[in-house]
Amino acid sequence: MKEEKLKIALQKAGRLSEDSVGLLKKCGISFNDGFGKLKTEAVNFPLEIFFLRDDDIPEYVADGVADLGIVGENVVAEACKQVEIIEKLGFARCRLSIAVPKGFHYESIKSLSGLRIATAYPKVLSDFLKRKGVEAEVHVISGSVEIAPSIGLADAICDLVSSGSTLFTNGLREVETVMHSEAVLIAHRNLKDLQKQILEKLLFRIRAVKSASENKYILLNVPNDRIERICRLLPGMKSPTVMPLAESGWSSVHSVIHKDDFWEIVEKLKQEGAQGILVISIDQMVR
Ligand code: PRT
Ligand code: ZN
């Protein structure tokens, strides 16, 4: 009998490609992603990998040509296809925003009434304007949206923003956030039971990689009379590990902290008398 496999679509070349391939590799899935390949097969996991343009991925997954895909939420929202968003993946974070020329007198969303807004996201933008009760003209262009106001093609734009430097260099100012986006794992709506089992296995690994990338392993030396106070700062997965050091009166404390809390916690640990603080990246983390 033919072995059941899942087919996953990844972006061929672009902002999602490296992280998408990297995520599967961190999940322990080996495959040859040599330059220019359109299709490959994992050697140690029942997965076939297609490399496509990101805009095509929701449709391929909706049609069942691929069972899974990794794509930006912005593309899923615009494509409006019947796919299931299974998991947020934490990379390619950005927002779809409306921006106006710096000198434009912007008071509220009503200031957009009657304007021509250039975008590659007509559906998402139109839905947003409708929700807000604003009537504006949505002008569809597919690239270099940010130059539209300066060449007289539009009064405002709606485009993806991450650092904001593209808007800044084009004399534009962000005034409304239409949606936040990050890479997501999407799936075909009607996977077969065997395919669902493979997806569960893949998801288990993806979640372990995600948790690991969000957390850091921390080791520190602590005077014994401070252990209790320090442990309160470091709840860890269950509770911190405390081991005696060769030097009496001191212990080594090991724990896991969220990367966003890192600097704040380290400052408090120093204040509590911790020394020799080491912070290590985690490859996988299973709760
Ligand atoms: O060829 P293909 O169709 O596959 O790729 P693409 O050119 O359509 O997409 P690509 O690779 O540029 O982006 C893929 C996905 O990355 C997007 O759909 C988003 O989900 C996500 N992403 C995250 C971004 C950005 N950040 C981003 N900053 N996509 C585009 N940008 C562009 C934006 O359009 C603008 O031109 O970067 C510029 C703004 O960046 P800042 O840093 O100056 O604000
Ligand atoms: Zn694209």
How close is the Cα of 51 to the center of ligand 2, in Å? 13
For ligand 1, atom 2: residue with the closest CA: 53
pTM here is 0.92
Question: Which residue ranges have their beta carbon within 6 Å of ligand 1?
Answer: 11, 14-16, 53-55, 72, 74-75, 92, 94, 159-166, 181
| Ligand 1 atom at minimal distance to the Cα of residue 182 | 20
| Distance in angstroms (rounded) separating the CA atoms of residues 118 and 143 | 10
Predicted pLDDT of residue 37: 82
> In ligand 1, which atom is closest to the CA atom of 11?
4
Predicted pLDDT at 123? 98
* Candidate of 10, 75, 94 to mutate for ligand 1, largest count of ligand atoms within 8 Å of Cβ: 94
Tens digit of each residue's pLDDT (9 = 90 or more) over 143-158? 899 999 999 999 999 9
Residue nearest to atom 30 of ligand 1 (CA): 160
Summarised one tens digit per residue, pLDDT across range 218-270 is 999 999 999 999 999 997 778 899 999 999 999 999 999 999 998 999 999 99
Q: Which atom of ligand 1 is nearest to the CA of 72?
A: 20
User: Residue 16's pLDDT is what?
Assistant: 98
Please identify every stretch of the chain with a pLDDT value under 70, giving residue numbers as ranges.
Answer: 1
| Mutate which of 12, 15, 170, 186 for ligand 1 pocket (most atoms within 8 A of beta carbon) | 15
* pLDDT at residue 20, rounded to an integer: 98
Ligand 2 centre to CA of 143 (Å) is 10
